[in-house]
C-alpha cells in the first residue's frame, strides 16, 4: 500500500485533485452556495397575521372543549403521522396518499391549537416554496383546460404544503433519525419486492418497457410498487444516498452492516429497472457523495468505473452503452418530443398553459415532430416551463438553489458527524434526481412529487436541528 502511495502516478493524481479542490473552493459557485442567508424578521407583517388567525382558531378550539378531547391523543402527535406518510408514500395510491397527507395536516393544526407556545420554524426555503405554490395555483386557474388542471394543481399543492408540516413538526434529532430510518427501510422493502418481480418475471413484471429489437437479453424491467421502471429508479435515487449517509454516520458494525444491506438491495433493484437516466443519476450522486466526503475518493471512483464492466452483467453493460444511440426507439422518441416542446416554449414561454395531459395535448400536436404523440415533455424543466411559464421555472430553480445552499452551508457549519453525512446524502440524492429529470418528467408520477417534497423538507429539518446544536455548543 505504501508503495502505491509513494508512486509517481498516485502522487500526480493527488496533486491534480488538490488543485481541483482549491479551484472549487475558490470558485464563485461555491461561494454562492455556501453564503449564509440573512434571517428575516420573525415578527414580519404576514407572519403576525398568521399568528392572529391561529389565536382565533385556538379560542374556537377551547370553546368547543377540543383541547380536552385531544389531550394526549395520538391525533395530536403529528410526527407519528409523518412517519406513516413517509412509509406509505411509495406504496399507496395517489388518492390514498392525499387522504393521509390531509389527515396528517389536520393533526398538525390540532397540535398548533394545543400548543400555546408554538412558533413557526424558519428555513431559507420557506419564501420560495410559498411563491412557487402561488404560481402553481395561478397556472391551474389560467390553464387552457382549467377543469382538469385545477384538480392536478390542488393535488400537487397539497403535497407541496406538506413541506411545512414536516419542518414544523420534526423538532428533535431522535424524531429525524426515526423518519430517515423509515425512509431507508421502506425503500429496501420496495426494492426486495422489485427483485422478487425480476425472479418471477413471468407472473409480475412487464416487458412492455423494453425495446425487444435492441435489447433481446432484457426480458423484463422491474417497477416495484410504481407504474413504471423509471419511476421506481427515481425513487431509489433518493433512498440510496440516505442509506449511504446512515452507514457512515452510525457507529457500530452491526448497524453499518444493516445499512450496507439496505443500500445494496436498493442498488440491485435500481440496476434491474434498466433505467439509463437513473444509471447516470446514481453515478453522479455517488461521485458527489465521495467528493463531499473527501475529494481523494474520486480516484477510487474512477478506478471503480474502469473496473465495473468486468463484473457487471452484459445486459446492464449493453443498456448503459446504448445511451445516446438514436437507433434506440426510446432515445429517438425523447429527442423528437424535446424538439416539439422547445418549439412550444418559443411561443408560450411567457404564459402558463396549465398542468396535465389534456392541457399539454391541446397544443403539443401542433408542434410534434413526425406526428410523435406524447403525454408530457419527458423533461421536468421543460415541463414546468410549459405548465407554469418563465416565472414558474425561475421560482422552481430558486427552490433548488436554496436547497443546495441550505445543505452545503449546513455541511460547512455542522459539528456532529451525523448531520454532516446527512447533508452529503441530501445533496447527492437531489443532484442525481435532477440529472434524471433532464431525461424524464420526474413529476409525472404524483407519488414521486410527494417524495420529492418530503426529501426537501427533511433536508431543511436537518439544517435546523444541526444549527440548534451548534448554538447550544457556542453558548
CA distance 142 to 415: 48
pLDDT over 90 (residue 394) = yes
What pLDDT, on the 0 to 100 scale, is given for residue 66? 84
* More confident site: 187 or 116: 187
What pLDDT, on the 0 to 100 scale, is given for residue 208? 54
pLDDT over 70 (residue 41) = no
Tell which residue, 249, 109, 244, has the closest CA to residue 184: 244
* More confident site: 169 or 368: 169
What pLDDT, on the 0 to 100 scale, is given for residue 329? 73
CA distance 431 to 465: 23
Give domain limits for the chain: 45-119, 134-316+331-474
* More confident site: 330 or 82: 82
Q: pTM here?
A: 0.92
What pLDDT, on the 0 to 100 scale, is given for residue 354? 93
CA distance 103 to 153: 19
Greatest mean pLDDT range, 315-329, 407-421, 448-462: 448-462
Tell which residue, 178, 148, 7, 15, has the closest CA to residue 84: 178
CA distance 141 to 154: 10
Tell me the CA distances in angstroms from 433 to 154, 240, 369, 410, one per residue in order. Answer: 24, 11, 28, 20
Tell which residue, 172, 191, 183, has the closest CA to residue 261: 191
Task: Kindly state the average pLDDT of the residues 20-26.
Answer: 69
Tell which residue, 280, 281, 245, has the closest CA to residue 260: 245
Residues β-bridged to residue 238: none
Task: Kindly state the average pLDDT of the residues 255-279.
Answer: 94
Length of the chain (residues): 475
pLDDT over 60 (residue 421) = yes
Q: Strand, helix or coil at 29? A: helix
Among 282-296, 319-333, 387-401, the least confident range? 319-333
* More confident site: 98 or 29: 98
Task: Kindly state the average pLDDT of the residues 85-89.
Answer: 97
pLDDT over 60 (residue 212) = no
- Supply the mean pLDDT for the chain: 87
Among 190-194, 315-319, 328-332, 383-387, the least confident range? 328-332
What pLDDT, on the 0 to 100 scale, is given for residue 4? 54
pLDDT over 60 (residue 207) = no
What pLDDT, on the 0 to 100 scale, is given for residue 312? 79
Taking residue 126's Cβ as centre, other Cβ atoms within 10 Å add up to 17
Greatest mean pLDDT range, 308-317, 367-376, 457-466: 457-466
pLDDT over 60 (residue 265) = yes
Model confidence at 108, pLDDT cuts 50, 70, 90, reads very high
* More confident site: 12 or 222: 222
Alpha helices (runs of H) in 349-416, residue ranges in sequence order? 357-361, 380-413
CA distance 397 to 390: 11
What pLDDT, on the 0 to 100 scale, is given for residue 5? 56
User: What confidence tens digit (pLDDT) does each residue in 288-331 have?
Assistant: 999 898 877 777 788 888 888 878 788 788 787 777 666 667 77
In the 3-class helix/strand/coil scheme, how is 359-375 assigned residue by residue? HHHCCHHHCCCCCCCCC
Q: What percent of the chain shows pLDDT beyond 70?
A: 87
pLDDT over 90 (residue 17) = no
CA distance 383 to 341: 8
User: What confidence tens digit (pLDDT) does each residue in 135-178 have?
Assistant: 999 999 999 999 999 999 999 999 999 999 999 999 999 999 99
pLDDT over 60 (residue 404) = yes
Q: What percent of the chain shows pLDDT beyond 90?
A: 59
* More confident site: 440 or 19: 440
Task: Kindly state the average pLDDT of the residues 427-446.
Answer: 96
Amino acid at each position: 500500500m505504501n508503495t502505491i502511495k509513494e508512486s509517481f502516478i498516485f502522487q500526480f493524481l493527488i496533486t491534480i485533485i488538490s488543485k481541483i479542490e482549491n479551484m472549487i473552493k475558490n470558485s464563485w459557485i461555491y461561494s454562492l452556495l455556501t453564503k449564509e442567508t440573512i434571517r428575516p424578521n420573525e415578527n414580519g407583517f404576514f407572519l403576525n397575521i398568521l399568528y392572529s388567525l391561529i389565536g382565533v382558531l385556538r379560542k374556537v378550539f377551547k370553546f368547543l372543549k377540543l383541547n380536552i378531547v385531544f389531550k394526549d391523543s395520538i391525533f395530536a402527535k403529528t410526527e407519528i403521522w409523518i412517519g406513516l406518510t413517509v412509509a406509505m408514500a411509495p406504496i399507496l395510491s395517489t388518492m390514498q396518499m392525499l387522504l393521509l397527507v390531509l389527515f396528517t395536516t389536520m393533526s398538525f393544526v390540532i397540535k398548533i391549537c394545543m400548543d400555546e407556545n408554538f412558533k413557526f420554524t424558519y428555513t431559507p426555503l420557506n419564501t420560495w416554496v410559498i411563491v412557487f405554490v402561488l404560481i402553481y395555483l395561478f397556472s391551474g386557474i389560467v390553464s387552457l383546460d382549467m377543469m382538469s388542471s385545477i384538480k392536478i394543481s390542488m393535488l400537487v399543492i397539497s403535497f407541496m404544503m406538506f413541506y411545512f408540516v414536516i419542518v414544523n413538526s420534526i423538532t428533535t434529532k431522535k424524531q429525524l433519525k426515526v423518519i430517515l430510518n423509515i425512509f431507508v427501510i421502506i425503500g429496501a422493502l420496495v426494492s426486495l419486492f422489485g427483485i422478487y418481480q425480476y425472479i418471477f418475471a413471468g407472473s409480475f413484471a412487464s416487458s412492455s418497457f423494453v425495446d425487444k429489437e435492441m435489447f433481446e437479453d432484457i426480458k423484463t424491467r422491474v417497477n416495484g410498487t410504481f407504474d413504471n421502471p423509471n419511476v421506481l429508479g427515481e425513487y431509489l435515487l433518493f433512498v440510496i444516498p440516505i442509506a449511504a449517509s446512515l452507514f457512515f454516520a452510525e457507529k457500530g458494525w452491526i448497524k453499518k452492516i444493516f445499512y450496507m444491506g439496505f443500500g445494496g438491495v436498493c442498488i440491485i433493484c435500481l440496476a434491474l429497472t434498466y433505467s439509463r437516466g437513473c444509471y447516470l443519476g446514481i453515478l453522479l450522486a455517488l461521485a458527489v457523495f465521495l467528493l463531499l466526503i473527501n475529494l481523494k475518493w474520486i480516484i477510487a471512483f474512477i478506478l471503480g468505473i474502469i473496473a465495473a464492466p468486468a463484473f457487471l452483467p452484459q445486459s446492464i453493460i449493453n443498456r448503459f452503452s446504448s445511451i445516446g444511440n438514436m437507433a434506440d426507439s426510446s432515445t429517438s422518441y425523447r429527442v423528437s418530443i424535446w424538439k416539439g416542446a422547445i418549439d412550444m416554449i418559443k411561443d408560450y414561454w411567457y404564459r402558463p398553459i396549465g398542468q396535465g395531459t389534456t392541457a399539454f395535448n391541446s397544443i403539443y400536436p401542433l408542434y410534434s415532430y413526425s406526428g410523435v404523440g406524447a403525454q408530457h415533455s419527458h423533461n421536468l424543466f421543460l415541463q414546468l416551463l410549459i405548465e407554469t411559464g418563465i416565472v414558474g421555472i425561475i421560482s422552481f430553480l430558486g427552490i433548488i438553489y436554496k436547497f443546495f445552499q441550505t445543505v452545503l452551508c449546513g455541511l460547512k457549519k455542522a459539528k456532529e458527524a451525523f448531520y454532516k453525512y446527512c447533508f452529503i446524502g441530501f445533496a447527492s440524492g437531489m443532484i442525481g434526481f435532477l440529472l434524471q429529470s433532464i431525461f424524464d418528467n420526474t413529476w409525472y408520477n404524483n407519488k414521486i412529487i410527494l417524495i420529492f417534497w418530503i426529501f426537501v423538507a427533511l433536508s431543511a429539518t436537518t439544517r435546523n436541528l444541526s444549527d440548534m446544536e451548534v448554538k447550544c455548543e457556542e453558548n
